[in-house]
Structure 1
Amino acid sequence: MTVSTLNINQLLCQADCLVKDIIHQRINISQVSIQLKTLYLPIVYNIDFELCYSQSIKAFIGSGYVAAGDCLPEELVWDHLRTSYFIKLIQDSYKLPIISSELQFQQQEQNNRLSLQEYLSCLFNHYAKLLVVRVDLGYAKETMNQVSIYDFEAHLKTLRELISNKNTCFEHLEGFAWAIEQGFDRGFHCHLLLIYQGNDRQKDTYLGQMVGEKWQAITNGFGSYFNCNDPAYKRQFAHRNQLGLGMVHRDSPVNNVTAENAINMALYLAEPNKTDQAMKVTIQGMRSFGHGQYRTSKRRGLSS
């Protein structure tokens, strides 16, 4: 990892927000000028043309290049005239592509949501008892700016391999789902859902901790985690009869922990309205969502 005091992740998130504020006319010209003075130079100097950027980031970079003209980035003065030109370029050239990309994101999330719901329904209909664990994986604030998208992808690849091989804390795993996001405060992060065979695994809080510690090991100590199966967190949902974490019994729910609640909680991984958490930068071919496959040919009959 290249150590830097510059948090490019937060800069990209700010640029994404700026462009969308311009498109939806939620910001005035003086505010745009102030933000351009902060954002433009460091973003331009940190652009990696091997990576894929969201439409909003492409709009920010493309409009900035045109508005800059022959000026070098370090010599740019974002005065009223140049800022006005930048805003016009955003509105004229990128408004429709950005709105289209947001709609496409929402549609994809809706498709992911339906796919996840069907997958989990098959699992809960088949197994009499499953242990549901969710862990949110990210990076510590003090090290977040040292983690590139390349690092994040490498860490995710190692995690997926462990899940696939059902090693260590992933032993007796029957199902899984994951979704990656990018936000201003949390940087790159992953929501991970794990479903274990209930006859072989108990102690969901401990399992969540083990998974979080495995992530910290994968990331060489840069990682952080939130164990959603912590008793205090679960109590918030239990009080509303919405708890879907821990042991789920198909036929006779215990403490109102139902399969329906488990599915509803899991659908947080595919939320169409979380456009602000969408990835602003990815590696070519990088996926933002995935889940296991339900293969009926390898399972017992649903009536068993």
Structure 2
Amino acid sequence: MLDFNTVPINSSYVLTAIDHLMYQVYNDQISNEHLKYALVDLVPAFKVFYRNDLSYVPSIQGFKNIIAAIDEMLSFQPYDQMIHFNDEDMSYLSIIFRESLHGMQAYISQHQSQEERNRKRLQQYLTDLTEHYSKLLFVRVDLGYLKEEQYQVDVGVFQQHMNAFRSRLANQDGCFSNLQGYAWALEEGATKGLHAHVLLIYDGHKHQQGYGLAKSVGEAWLEITGRSGMYFNCHDTDYIKKFEREGTLGIGMIHRNDPQQVINAINAAMYLVNPEKGFQYLRSKIWRMRTFGIAQFEKGNRRL
């Protein structure tokens, strides 16, 4: 069952929970008794957040078919009456589930394939950059929303905020000046909600301090979101020391003549598009919404 006492109800939490439930049913990992109680929570919660103008992943689309079947079975009774469904009722629902899960595995495979293509694009992009410049400052910051504000943030609001953020990137004003490249990836989780991982690559001859830049970028995000946002500065001292001890630090100043630094930087950046993370994809999107992007690398326009 969903625990709305510890996690404020919001669109991401509900859609992620539905996605997990459909995955459990698909893999026969949930009993009928647990399924009934999960449905008692999820069906009314889904109706609160469902929007006709959004496109949903197959698991969420399939859940709509299940709700239609449940509404017919209940004949306008409250949804908590689902706990009284007998074996025959659950057998019928099981058939609806199976029909509704059609295309789910294909979507997951397609998503993983797209992530792999994005990884190759990003790897080549970063290779081109690190070969072209003698030193670059790699800055990482994660952008999201305060837990108590997530109920107000759906994918449409998130897109508006990211559009404003990407406009700042393109204009290269303020803390985005002297950028030589960037990459970003949008994700969604049950507790983090909608969030973005951002990699900013600055001219190492003009910027040297990653922490201060990441802080300024985070403050820009707070301004864009009207202070409903939050950010994580990946250049936090304790966070940096952890990777230094492991010899895998891939942010900060990266020198072309230090192959290990370059390898670490590229490996660390791959986190943005890691198909192994699973369940971090967006469950809903607006029309033509992209979830990953990198700047263009045009060697002819770059300084030698």
TM-score relative to the length of structure 2: 0.92
C-alpha displacement at 1:205, in angstroms? 0.7
Which residue is equivalent to 1:225?
A: 231
Deviations 1:222-241 (A, max 9, x none): 00011111121111111111
1:187 to 172, 184, 193: 193
Name the amino acid aligned to 2:124: E
Report SS of the residue matched to 1:276: coil
Instruction: Trace 1:1-304 onto structure 2 (pairs within 5 A).
Output: 6-69=9-72, 71=74, 75-76=78-79, 77-78=81-82, 79-80=85-86, 81-91=88-98, 93-252=99-258, 258-300=261-303
C-alpha displacement at 1:74, in angstroms? 5.8
Q: List runs of 5+ in structure 1 lacking aligned partners.
A: none
Task: Tell me: CA distance 1:135–1:159, structure 2 relative to 1, closer, same or farther (3 Å).
Answer: same
Aligned-partner Cα distance in 2 for 1:72–1:293: 56
Aligned-partner Cα distance in 1 for 2:58–2:255: 44
Task: Tell me: CA distance 1:74–1:44, structure 2 relative to 1, closer, same or farther (3 Å).
Answer: farther
Deviations 1:122-177 (A, max 9, x none): 00010001000000000011111121211111100000000001011100000000
Aligned-partner Cα distance in 2 for 1:82–1:281: 30
Report SS of the residue matched to 2:183: strand
C-alpha displacement at 1:189, in angstroms? 0.2
Task: Tell me: CA distance 1:164–1:121, structure 2 relative to 1, closer, same or farther (3 Å).
Answer: same
C-alpha displacement at 1:96, in angstroms? 3.9
Aligned-partner Cα distance in 1 for 2:19–2:78: 23
Aligned-partner Cα distance in 2 for 1:267–1:74: 50
8 Å contact kept, 1:41–1:74: no
Q: List runs of 5+ in structure 2 lacking aligned partners.
A: 1-7
Task: Tell me: CA distance 1:73–1:20, structure 2 relative to 1, closer, same or farther (3 Å).
Answer: farther
55-64 vs 119-128, which deviates more? Answer: 55-64
Aligned-partner Cα distance in 1 for 2:163–2:61: 27
Report SS of the residue matched to 2:148: coil
8 Å contact kept, 2:32–2:90: yes
Name the amino acid aligned to 2:230: S
C-alpha displacement at 1:86, in angstroms? 2.5
Aligned-partner Cα distance in 2 for 1:201–1:45: 47
Name the amino acid aligned to 1:147: V
Task: Tell me: CA distance 1:243–1:6, structure 2 relative to 1, closer, same or farther (3 Å).
Answer: closer
Q: What is the aligned residue count?
A: 293
Task: Tell me: CA distance 1:71–1:217, structure 2 relative to 1, closer, same or farther (3 Å).
Answer: same
Name the amino acid aligned to 1:51: L
Percent of residue pairs identical: 35
Name the amino acid aligned to 1:133: V
75-84 vs 28-37, which deviates more? Answer: 75-84
Name the amino acid aligned to 1:194: L
C-alpha displacement at 1:72, in angstroms? 5.8
TM-score relative to the length of structure 1: 0.92
Deviations 1:4-33 (A, max 9, x none): x74222111111100000001111110100
